[in-house]
Every structure is written in structure tokens, then in C-alpha cells.
């Protein structure tokens, strides 16, 4: 990270955008996390950031590991956008058809799987 910083202008921040690897990036010294899931689950996202900033790398990683069922859905359905949109719908935050075209919502089966993943313990 230090080598990369030396090559960049002072005003450029180094961040991570993959939610599933955010704890690793923050623990490695990324200044910011460009999160998708942080909009739905701000408390747990803030816990990860705070732990990493305090130098508690194992804690940040452990908190992220609690979200592994969500990360698995991101991998299964090709990324975070449609899974997060489905989760927002399930949580009553938006309509099912909230994505701009040409993006389409996930299948009813995927919605069921996401709902089941969120049910036991919302992050």
C-alpha cells in the first residue's frame, strides 16, 4: 500500500469497492470503502470500518465473516447490485422493479433465497 501511495498525487485516496473483501482492503490500509451493502446495513459496515481503523484486523475480518452468506449470494448472482436491490425490496426500502433498464430484478427463486438468508439474523 505504501508503494502505491508514493506513486499517487496527495489528493488521491486508495479505496476498496468489493464488499466481500472490504475488511481485507481496510486492514491493508485503504482509506475508504465504496460499499453497496453499507446503504442497507450501515451499522455492520461501520463496525468493520471502525475495527480496521483501530487496528483490530481480526475483529474487522470476523465481522465481515458474519456476512459470508450475503457475500456468497453476491458471488452466486454475479455481483452485489441486483442482490442488494432484492434485499432492499425484501426489507421494504424500494419496489421490486427499482433497477434502471436494461437491468432486471433477480428471479422469484433468487428473491426467496435472499429473503431466507436475511431472515435468521439481519446483519
d(CA 96, CA 88): 9
pLDDT at 122: 46
d(CA 59, CA 80): 23
pTM score of the predicted model = 0.87
pLDDT along the chain (123 residues), means of 10: 89 94 97 94 97 98 96 96 96 94 96 92 51
Look up residue 15 and give its DSSP letter.
E
pLDDT at 2: 85
DSSP string, 32-58: EE--SGGGT-HHHHHHHHHHHHTT-HH
SS (H, E, C) 86-119: HHHHHCCCCCCCCCCCCCCCCCHHHHHHHHHHHC
Give the start-to-end residue ranges of the domains of the chain: 1-66, 68-123
Count CB-CB contacts under 10 A for residue 30: 19
Cα four-point dihedral sign 18, 22, 25, 30? positive
- Containing 75, the helix (H) or strand (E) segment is helix 68-76
Amino acid at each position: 500500500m505504501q508503494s502505491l501511495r508514493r506513486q499517487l498525487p496527495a489528493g488521491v485516496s486508495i479505496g476498496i469497492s468489493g464488499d466481500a473483501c472490504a475488511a481485507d482492503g481496510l486492514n491493508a490500509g485503504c482509506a475508504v470503502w465504496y460499499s453497496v451493502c453499507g446503504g442497507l446495513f450501515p451499522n455492520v459496515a461501520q463496525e468493520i470500518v471502525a475495527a480496521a481503523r483501530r487496528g483490530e484486523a481480526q475483529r474487522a475480518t470476523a465481522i465481515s465473516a458474519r456476512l459470508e452468506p450475503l457475500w456468497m449470494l453476491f458471488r452466486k448472482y454475479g455481483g452485489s447490485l441486483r442482490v442488494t436491490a432484492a434485499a432492499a425490496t425484501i426489507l421494504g426500502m424500494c419496489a421490486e422493479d427499482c433497477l434502471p433498464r436494461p437491468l432486471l430484478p433477480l428471479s422469484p427463486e433468487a428473491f426467496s433465497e435472499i429473503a431466507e438468508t436475511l431472515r435468521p439474523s439481519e446483519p
